[in-house]
Amino acid sequence: MSLESAAVSASARYIAHKFGGSSLADAQRIAHVADVLIARGETMQMTVVSAMQGVTDALIGLVHVASQDAERARADLDDLINRHRKTAATLLGVQSSQALADMERDWVDLAALLRSVNLLGHPSADLLDYVQGLGEVWSAQMLAALLRERGHSATWLDAREVLVVEPGQLGMAVEWKSSQQRLLSWRESHSESIIIVTGFVARTRDGRPTTLGRNGSDYSGAIFARLFEAAELHIWTDVDGVLSADPRLVPDAVLLPRMSYDEAFELAYFGAKVVHPGTMSPVLEAGIPVWVRNTFKPEVAGTRIGPEHDPAQEQGPVKGLTIAPALALVQVEGTGMIGVPGTAERVFGALRGANVSVVMISQASSEHSICCAVKASESARAVDVLREAFARELSAGLVQSIEAEAGVAVLAAVGDGMAGHPGVAARLFAGLAHAEVNVRAIAQGGSERNISVAIKEADATRALRAVHSGFWLSPQTISVGVIGPGQVGSALLEQLAASADRLLAQNQLDLRLRGIAGSTRMHLAERRVEWHQWREQYLEAAEPLNLEAFAQHIRASHLPHAMIIDCSASAEVAAHYADWLAAGIHIVTPNKQAGSAPLPQYRATRDACKRAHWRYEATVGAGLPVIGTLRDLIDTGDQILAIEGIFSGTLSYLFNNFDGSTPFSELVLDARARGFTEPDPRDDLSGLDVARKLVILAREWGKDIELQDVNLVGLVPESLASLSREEFLGRISELDETLNERIGGARERGKVLRFVAKVDDSGASVGLVELPNNHAFAHLKPTDNVVQFTTTRYRDNPMVVQGPGAGPDVTAAGVFADLLRIAQALGARF
C-alpha cells in the first residue's frame, strides 16, 4: 500500500483517544479536553474517558460509609452531586438541566442503593462494581453534551451496553466476538461522528455489571480502539510522552519520539511510567500504534509506540532506563550445585509454589550460585521456602548458604537497538564506575533488548543519572561551578555567556553552569544557571557558602564531567583542591595560593591530578602562555638555566611611567584611581604577589622551593606596612624620597628601574633592579608582563614571552583558554 493510500485509509477510520481523571478534574479541564478533540479535526473520533479526578475513590468510600453511617453517606453523596451539578452548569449553562436528566436518575438510584447497603450492613460485590463505575458514566455524558452544545455531532456510549468480559487468572478477558456484535448493533442506531465511551466499566457474560480494575480506563481505551478498528490510539496524560528516564530522578531525561511495543513492555515491567502491557494487549494484537500525549500540551507530538522495529528511526541503542526499587537479592550458594541438573528448576519451583515473583535472575557459569531479585516484602518467605526445599543439601554441606540481601534495586537499560550493537554494556558499566556504584548481579536476555543490574537501593538515583548521561548526553558535557564572581570571575562569566551557544553548536561542548559561590554565599541550580541571568540569580542567592556542598553539587553523577573554576584569591579555597581533584573534579584557576602553598599541600595537589586536570596558566602572566611555554621547553628536553621577568602589570605600569618628573606616590594614586591597583596598593607594592608567581614557575621547572625561600625586597617600608589602608594612603608620599634617589642614580648610570623576579641555580629573588636601556625589559608597553627563559638552546638569545599581564578581561581569557584545553583533552574538537 502506498503512503498516499494508507493516509486515505487511515482518514476513513476512527481515531481513538483516552483521557484520564487528571485531564477531567473540573469544568475547566473538561472544556480543554473538548478543545483538544475539536482542534484535531478528525472525521471520526472515539474517546474513552475516566471519571473526574477523585470521583471513583469517593464512590467506593460512599458505599463503605453507607454500611455504617447512613446520614454521613447522604452528606457525602450530596457533596458529590453538587460537584457534578456545578461542573455541568459551568460547562453548559442553561443547557445543563437537559444534560443532567439521566444523571439525576442515577443519583436517585444511588441514594436508594446506599440505603439498602445501610440496612444490610455490608455491600455486595456486584453493587460495589456498579457504583464505582458511575463516575465514568457521568463524565462521558457531560463531555458529549458539551461537544453537542458547541455544534458537533456527538453522543456517549455506556460501555456496559457493549463490552462483555469474563474474569480470569490474568484479569478480565474480553469476549471479543459478542462485544463486536453488540457494538455493531449499537452503531446501527447511532450515526454520530464523535463517540464518548465510558472507561473502566463492562458487563460479564451473564449480564452483571463489573469493572476492569485499577488502570481499567487505559485498558478500555485499548479495547475500544480495537473494537472500533481505529487507525491509532492517543492516550492523553499529564506528561509529554515516554521519557528516557524518570524526570524526577534524572533532570536531563529526554522525550522519546517513538518506540516499539517490546521496548514499552520491558520498561513498564520495571516500573517506568509507560502504558502497562496488560492495557496494550488489545492494540498489540491488532497492530494499532499508540501515542502517549500530554493533555495540557497538545502541541507536543508525544511518543509513538508501535509494532515495528525500525533501525532507521533509532536514536541510539538504548531507548530508556528505569529503576525497580524495594527489592532483595536472594542467593543460593553451594559447591554441591556444580554440574547438578535441575537445581535451578528446584529453586524457581519453590519460589513459584510460595507465590514469590522473581524480577531478575543471575547465575555464574561455574554453577556455584544462583541469585535472583524479588520484592523485599517477599524475601523472608523466599528464604524460608528455599531452605525448606534444600534442607537435605544444607544439612549435608552441599549447599552452604541461602540468604537474602535487602536494600537492593534493579536498574534496567532497554532498547531494540542494543541487539548486535557492541559496546552497550561497556558504556553502562563505565557510567556506574563514574558514579562509584558497585554491581551486585547482572542479567541480559537472549534478545539483547534488556541489560539489568542489581545495585544498592541507596545508590539507585546516582546510578540512574550516571548511566543516563552515558547514553544521552554529549561526552563533552561539563558541570561547571565558578567561585569568586568578582572582577575576573564576572568577566569570565560574561565571556562564557557570549560563547556557550557557539561552543555547543560548533564543538559539541555543553558547558552547564550549575553553581556560583562568593565569599559568604552560593547559588546552586539543579539543571543550570542561564548564562545571561547568572548575576541576578546569584545576587538573589540566600544559601550560605559551604565549599563541600558546593563541590558535591558540581560533581553531579548524571553529568559526565565536573569542573570548578576558582577565580578567588582564597587560600581556604585552594586548600580543597587536592580533595576535589581526587574526587574527579577538574580545576581551572588564576588563584596563586595553591601553586605557591607550602610544599606538602602543593605535592598533595599535584599527586591528586591523577584523576582530574588542574590548569593554572592564568596564575602567571594572566592570559600569556608562560607556563605552557615552560612546559614545552622542559618536555622537549631543553635545560632551563634561568627564569626572570616582570610579573606584575601594576608595577610594570608604574615603573614604565616613573622617571622622576612626577612623584612615585602620585603615580600610585593615579593608577589606583584608574583601577590598575588593588584597593590597597600595598598588595601590589609589597611584591608578595610577584613572589608567588615566581614560586609557581620555579616549581614548574622542578625546584622544591618555598615562598619564604624567595629573597623578597618590596617597596613598602616597615613604617607603613602595619597602618590601616586610609592611614597608608595619607602617608604614601613617604615612598618618594627613597625612590627618587633610586631613579636618579639609575639615570646617571644610563639605566632604568624595573621590578624583576628571577630564579636560577643560585636562588630566587624579587625586587627593584637597575637594567640597561637596551635590556628586553627596558621598553615595555605600560601594563605588559614579560618573562625571559634562558636555556641551553636559548642561551645567547633568550626566549621572551611578552604581552598584556593585567586586567580582568585578559585574565579571564587565560582562564577560558585553560577550560578549553581541558575540554579538548576530554574529547571536544576544536
Neighbour tally for 741: CB within 10 Å: 11
DSSP-derived secondary structure letter, 625: -
How far lies 21's CA from each of 29, 389, 810, in Å? 10, 47, 59
Instruction: Tell me the C-alpha distance between 246 and 252, whole Å.
Output: 9
Which amino acid belongs to residue 745?
Answer: G
The position carrying cell 455493531 is 184
Dmax (CA) of the chain: 121
Residue ranges with strand state E in 22-98: 45-49
Cβ contacts of residue 763 below 8 Å, gap of 6+? 709, 711
Nearest to 486 by CA among 535, 529, 528: 535
Q: What are phi and psi of 246, to 5 degrees?
A: -65, 115
HEC readout, 353-413 = HCCCCEEEEEECCCCCEEEEEEEHHHHHHHHHHHHHHCHHHHHHCCCCEEEEEEEEEEEEE
Q: Verify whether residue 693 is a known catalytic residue.
A: yes
Judge whether 767 and 756 are in contact, CB under 8 Å.
yes
Neighbour tally for 660: CB within 10 Å: 16
Which of 18, 319, 592, 693 is an active site residue?
A: 693
Neighbour tally for 680: CB within 10 Å: 15
Cβ contacts of residue 42 below 8 Å, gap of 6+? 15
Which amino acid belongs to residue 152?
Answer: H
DSSP-derived secondary structure letter, 255: B
Cβ contacts of residue 84 below 8 Å, gap of 6+? 52, 100, 103, 138, 142
Neighbour order of strands in the sheet with 640-646: 711-712, 763-772, 751-760, 640-646, 784-791, 799-804
Nearest to 704 by CA among 602, 616, 791, 571: 602
Specify which residues 332 forms β-bridges with: 370, 402
Active site residues: 693
